[in-house]
Structure 1
Amino acid sequence: MNKQALLRTAFASVLAVTATSAVMPAYAQAAKEKCFGIAKAGQNDCANASGTHSCAGQNKVDMAPDEWKYVAKGTCEKMGGGLTADAAKKMADKKMMEKK
């Protein structure tokens, strides 16, 4: 194989991998939803709802109602979380009342 054909093949391979990588996360997210109130300390997926940080892995406490993780659609509430930060806070408050 000559040098030019090899370069074309390599370039086409890089383009194919890049295109596939760009599509897969969007597809994967379509089957997921944000679930607030279930992330353990240091395991949140991105910025929190209250705006105190903007990166994954920065939450300081377990199950904070303003922290979230991606979960499979339909499983959030089964895990004890909420689809919004307000819903997660209400669930956390309810659990605290049940403990008393």
Structure 2
Amino acid sequence: MTSTITRQTTAAALALALGAALTVSAVPATAADDAMAQEKCFGVALKGKNDCKAGAGTTCAGTSKIDHQGNAWSLVPAGSCDKTISKTSPTGHGQLKEFKEKKA
């Protein structure tokens, strides 16, 4: 009788340990995905510091001609674009789409 109880206890402990390990291993992946989420934010890059796109005829990163150029973007953490200052944006903050700059 002791060996049956011991086997059941061991099996239950193993199942509990496996369940806990799977739960713990799933949490960092979700947190890492959230930390990695980024979005293109137009009008926030400084001159020559954009991540990509700066109008027709440009080659990509580092090609913006002015600070806060409306058609040049930088990657920012998701959800932060509309909180980032842009001196040329109509709203005063970064935009998710390119825009025509206002005078700074």
TM-score, length-scaled by structure 2 = 0.53
Gaps of 5+ in 1: 1-26
1:85 aligns with 2:91: no
Question: Which residue does the alignment assign to 1:46?
Answer: 52
Larger gyration radius, structure 1 or structure 2: 2
Greater share of helix residues, 1 or 2? Answer: 1
Identity %: 38
Tell whether 2:73 aligns with 1:63: no
1:55 is displaced (CA, Å) by: 2.0
Describe the superposition over 1:39-78 as per-residue Cα deviations: whole angstroms up to 9, x where unpaired. 0001000122x32302211111100101100000000010
Matches within 5 A, 1:1-80: 31-48=37-54, 50-79=55-84, 80=93
Q: Which has the higher contact order (CA 8 A, sep 6+)?
A: 1
For these two proteins, the number of residue pairs brought into alignment is: 64
Instruction: Please tell me the residue identity of whatever aligns with 1:41.
Output: K
Question: Which ranges in structure 2 are unaligned for 5 or more consecutive residues?
Answer: 1-32, 85-92
Deviant stretches of 4+, over 2 Å? none
